[in-house]
Structure 1
Amino acid sequence: MKLSRRKFLGSAAAGTAIAAAMAHSMPAIAGDTVAVGSLHDLTGSLDAFGVPSHMCMKFAIEEINAAGGLLGKKIDLKTYDGQSDIKKFPQYAQQAALNDKVVMLQGAITGASREATRPVLRRYKVPFVYGTIYEGGLCEDNAISVNTGSDQQAVPLLEWSFRNLGKKVFYIGADYNAPRNIGIWNNAIAKREGGETVGEEYYPLDVTDFSTAISKIQAAKPDFLHSCLVGGPHMSFYRQWAAAGMLKKIPIVSVVFGGGQEHMILTPEESDGVIAAYNYFQELDTPENKAFIKRFEASVGADHPYINGIAIGGYNGPMLWAEAVKKAGSFDRDDVMAALAQNIEWTGPGGKMILDGKTHSTQQDVRIIQVKNRVWSLLETKSQIPPYDFNGRCNLLENPKNVDILNPQV
């Protein structure tokens, strides 16, 4: 049979892609080490989120290695800087899979970087661990979410708020998918708790003038304000809110405040009294967390970025993945996911966590906390909140080929 040059090149390209995928299906673990990847924003506009998350991941790998490694092998951490540039994430994900032959990669802070990363890792059968808080709905057999979905924070926070602050809420958020999904939860919980959403506003991420928004909130006279404003420009809202004399008049609750170190950047006069909900905060007064902070500071020094509910995912992710590897007795992706289907339980700085095999998301405690003088204190703990299965639409045991991002229907 005569083969044209075009057909030959097409066949060769396909063969190369297949060979690359097959080559990765047998990770380079013959030696004394096995590679794991960290893909976080270490520079650029998102480094306030990425640097602490990477530090926590690096420390987790150090602890795994100090305990003898995994399956007799030490972990070699490969570090990639996403540079707060979406285009870098698929590029580095492919490098990690094909060149460095990682057996797991953790990272991506934003939903956009997550969605740029996970198809590449799925193609090369590299487990993807997503460590940040997010809107919820990630339902994929190759991906593991080790932090809270928006419902796990928003529902207990709003239940507490309607019980303690009043029945009228005004919701203000950044204009993208996560705050809009949290807005869905806000309205659903308001209705369920006999409350009322008296206003709802969304603002682009680059907005810095919130005078109109503050006027609308003042006119609506809510009992409390639910804020899902995100990023540096939106910190202007809190400064303008305090300058208008509103900080002590209408309480603010939030599932994102503090995640970008807002409580360390703003003055106490601009932030005192804000109430948040996270699975973890650095001041958590438990033996497990005190021991963790002591070990962490012995490794990186006391002058480190504040470890918040986003950053702690960097530590929890490798630890939960390692438990799955130990249960599987293998680094192979399919073996690890089969072990994960049996549920993985582990206790870390934030308490007990159960990685649910059906949703690949995590059951864990969530804390209602309040800031004063840049220090968080505990108001209430909601114990062992399970992950939301989106009314049965996320069931990876029955539908392992699912790769959706699901929206809440509440």
Structure 2
Amino acid sequence: MNLSRRQFLGSTLAVSAVSMTASFPGIASAGSDSVTIASLYDLSGPLDVYGVPSNMCTEFAVEELNKAGGLLGKQVVLKAYDCQSDINKGPQYAQQAALRDRAVMAVGALTGAAREATRPILHRYKVPYFYGSIYEGGACEQNIFCCNTEGNQQVVPLLEWSFKNLGKKLYYIASDYNAPRVFGLWNHVMAKRAGGEVLADDYYPLDVTDFTAAIAKIQAAKPDFIHSCLVGGPSMSFYRQWAAAGMLDKIPIISIIFGGGRESEILSPQETNGIYAAYNYFQELDTPQNKAFLARFAEAMGQDHSYINGEAIGGYNTVMLWAECVKRAKSFDRDAVMKAWESGITWEGPGGTMATDASTHHTTQDVRIIKVENRVWSLVETKSQIRPDNYGGRCDVFAHPSQTDFLMPQI
């Protein structure tokens, strides 16, 4: 995937790292005229299709803040690391960001595996982790602030709609790592609620490109619809082979990840038409806030910028929600920022109203069910202001301040 000129040059955002003589990680030096934040996205490798647009949106958020005068009298500097689609790079670069760059906040490490490898490092050094990827839910600790949709905000409304409108028999095909497996549990939760049935949980390594056997299994199972959580460039082969088998018009496909990797742009309309997805944001969203955002984005980043989907927008939302916390706290200190989040902040973003949730460190937000035709997404249904899941009270940073365990949905 080609990177834009801005992403490599970084324009005014690319400056030298903060001196090693600065104070403890996460504390901005009083004498400095800038403050550093770190991004840990995959800018190369098979996951760059997600990481590059997300980092682009992060860069734009920083540019907007600095254009408006910065934060607390300081310019915001973005230190962008390339995690190279390697989960081991996340914790390595997180430590560098904390100790060398003295970053006051970090974003990125987008996959579930990368996040779970990285967040203990940021927790140790008290660098607030503003996580902007769509994800399975269950990350519940004081140092993480989840700014995109989680399982009950994305897969739950999509499955509610699908069991009502497409049928009761679901076939799940997914990449084989922790996030898709947890999403797989949500299938069973929702099937139980809706009187549906999960016919199969079918997982494949990230590098698989031949789905001939998988398609034969689906045809034999005869589901009413397919739930796909196939991630990464190689997995696009499934959609191409599914269409070539003449199945695209016969069994509908839903997904909480399709489109996030630019599948609907890279594949032909004949390979993607009619696929449903669920996101908090899509670029065609017809609201005044989004139109204004896109105009500013095009002016700053160029008219030919990459499509901004529900995954990429997390790169913008994380920085802006963090900035709102800094403004209310009047400080870059981790604990002050955390208290600001917990005080309750409402922010109007490109996707609509987002509100911080104190006890879960997640956000309340709108989610849209959308459908692609001829590479254009259209709105099917809006689910307004879905609150985050507290996992039956298990996700509560006040009741469980030392908790770092990953929580799982209960069937």
Q: TM-score, normalised by structure 2?
A: 0.92
CA distance in 2, matches of 1:215, 1:85: 32
Report how far residue 101 of structure 1 moved: 1.0
**Cα gap change, 1:320 to 1:199, in 2 (>3 Å):** same
Any residues of structure 2 matched to 1:1-400 within 5 Å, and which? Answer: 23-24=24-25, 26-400=27-401
- Alpha-carbon distance, 1:367 to partner: 0.4
Whole-Å separation in 2 of the counterparts to 1:25 and 1:257: 35
Deviation at 1:99, TM superposition (A): 1.6
| SS class of match (2:219) | helix
Superposition deviation, residue 361 in structure 1: 0.9
Residue aligned with 2:340, SS = helix
Question: Take 1:408 and 1:266, find their aligned partners in 2: how far apart are those partners?
Answer: 33
CA displacement, residues 270-325 of structure 1 (integer Å, 9 cap, x when unaligned): 10000000111111111111111110000011111111111000000011011111
Aligned position for 1:6: none
| C-alpha deviation, 1:20, in angstroms | 9.3
- Deviation per CA, 1:205-231: give whole Å up to 9, x if none: 222222222122222222111111112
Moved more, 118-127 or 362-371: 118-127
Contact 2:226 2:252 in 1 (8 A): yes
Cα distance in 2, alignment partners of residues 29 and 268 from structure 1: 54
- Distance 1:233-1:41 versus aligned 2 partners, 3 A rule: same
Match in the other structure for 1:12: none
Deviations 1:331-361 (A, max 9, x none): 1111111111112211100000011111111
Secondary structure (helix, strand or coil) at the match of 1:198 reads strand
- Structure 2 vs 1, CA of residues 304 and 26 (structure 1 numbering), >3 Å: closer, same or farther? closer
Equivalent AA in structure 1 for residue 217 of structure 2 = K
Deviation at 1:66, TM superposition (A): 1.4
- Partners of 2:200 and 2:112 in 1: CA distance: 26
- The aligned amino acid for 1:376 is W
Q: Secondary structure at the match of 1:391?
A: helix
The answer to whether the 8 Å contact 1:345/1:352 transfers is: yes
Q: Is the 8 A contact 1:20 1:98 kept in 2?
A: no
**Any idea what the Cα deviations from partners look like across 1:356-401, whole Å, max 9, x if unmatched?**
1111111110000000111100000000111111111110022222
Q: Is the 8 A contact 2:49 2:233 kept in 1?
A: no
Measure how far apart 1:234 and its partner are. Answer: 1.6
> How far is the alpha carbon of 1:142 from its aligned partner?
0.9
In 2 relative to 1, CA 259–156 (structure 1 residues): closer, same or farther, beyond 3 Å? same
| Alpha-carbon RMSD | 1.6
Which range moves more in the overlay, 361-370 or 229-238?
229-238
> 8 Å contact 2:22–2:102 — kept in the other structure?
no
Cα distance, 1:197–1:73 mapped onto 2, change above 3 Å: same
Cα distance in 2 for residues equivalent to 1:21 and 1:113: 28
Alpha-carbon distance change, 92 to 351 in structure 1, aligned in 2, over 3 angstroms = same
Distance 1:29 1:387 in 2: 36
Gaps of 5+ in 1: 1-18
Quick one: distance in 2 between partners of 1:377 and 1:364? 19
**Cα distance, 1:150 vs structure 2:** 2.1
Once superposed, which parts of structure 1, at least 4 consecutive aligned residues long, lie more than 3 Å away?
19-22
Contact residue 28 and residue 101 of structure 1 kept, 8 A: no
Q: Which amino acid aligns with 1:201?
A: D
2:3 maps to none
Cα shift readout 1:92-130 (whole Å, capped 9, x = no counterpart): 212211122111111111122222322221121111111
Q: Secondary structure at the match of 1:24?
A: coil
Counterpart CA distance in 2 for 1:233 and 1:51 is 17
Helix, strand or coil at the partner of 1:89: helix
Contact 2:209 2:234 in 1 (8 A): yes
- CA distance in structure 1 between the aligned counterparts of 2:148 and 2:50, rounded to whole angstroms: 14
Counterpart Cα distance in 2 of 1:202 and 1:169: 15
Question: How many Å separate the matches in 1 of 2:172 and 2:25?
Answer: 47
Deviation at 1:85, TM superposition (A): 2.4
State the alpha-carbon separation in 2 of the partners of residues 193 and 33 from structure 1.
52
Corresponding residue SS for 2:24: helix
- Asked if structure 1 preserves the Cα contact closer than 8 Å seen for 2:142 and 2:361, the reply is yes
Change (3 A) 1:216 1:328: same
Distance 1:20 1:390 in 2: 42
Cα pair distance change 1:188/1:89, threshold 3 Å = closer
Alpha-carbon offset, residue 23 of structure 1: 2.8
User: In the aligned structure 2, how far is the partner of 1:217 from the partner of 1:26?
Assistant: 53
Contact 2:326–2:332 under 8 Å retained in 1: yes
Which one has a bigger Cα radius of gyration? 1
User: Match for 1:105: what amino acid?
Assistant: A
Alignment-mate amino acid for residue 188 of structure 1:
V
Q: What secondary structure sits across from 2:93 in the alignment?
A: helix
Equivalent pairs counted in the alignment come to 392
Distance in 2 between the 1:159 and 1:26 partners? 44
* CA contact 2:317–2:349 (8 Å) conserved in 1: yes
Q: Distance in 2 between matches of 1:30 and 1:404?
A: 38
Structure 2, unpaired ranges of 5+: 1-19
Do 2:23 and 2:29's aligned partners in 1 also have CA atoms closer than 8 Å? no
Counterpart for residue 10 of structure 2: none
Cα displacement (A) at 1:21: 11
